[in-house]
Amino acid sequence: MAEKKTILNQYADVVKFLAENDAPDELIKFINDRARLHAKKAENRKPTKNQIANDELREKVLEIVRTADKPLTATEILNTDVATLISIQKVTALLTPMVNDGRLVKTADKHRTVYTVKAE
């Protein structure tokens, strides 16, 4: 999979190209200033209300999986008291980042996918 190009990487590529092709220093300085402003803007970004709500839901889902006595499917997680107000797609969307960052383990078991807490 190709490396994801961020805007800051693209600014660096433009500066490199301009420097290789003898562009005026003012133009290179302008691009560098734009990159600096973009980086400053990205640093000040706060999580949205939805992201905060999803983090809280993620912790609840993690606790459901942690307290379960067996591996759970997304549907079983959905059928618990805590997760009754969300859809199966939302449960899966909450589980995926936790699998990616290693908090949960996703296992394909015959015709179903189950989730367990990663052994510490």
Write down the domain spans for the chain: 7-43, 49-117
pLDDT at residue 74 in the model: 87
Q: Which residues, at least 6 apart from 72, have a Cβ–Cβ distance to it below 8 Å?
A: 64, 65, 114, 115, 116
Nearest to 77 by CA among 101, 57, 103: 57
Q: Please, are residues 65 and 77 in contact by the beta-carbon 8 Å criterion?
A: yes
CATH 3.40.50.2000 fits 49-117, yes or no: no
For the chain, give the percent of residues with pLDDT over 70. Answer: 93
98-112 tens-digit pLDDT: 999 989 999 987 788
36-78 tens-digit pLDDT: 998 888 777 888 899 898 898 899 888 988 988 898 888 888 8
Q: Look at residue 72 and give its three-state secondary structure.
A: strand
**How does DSSP classify residue 3?**
P
* Residue 29: exposure state from Cβ atoms within 10 A (0-12, 13-18, ≥19): exposed
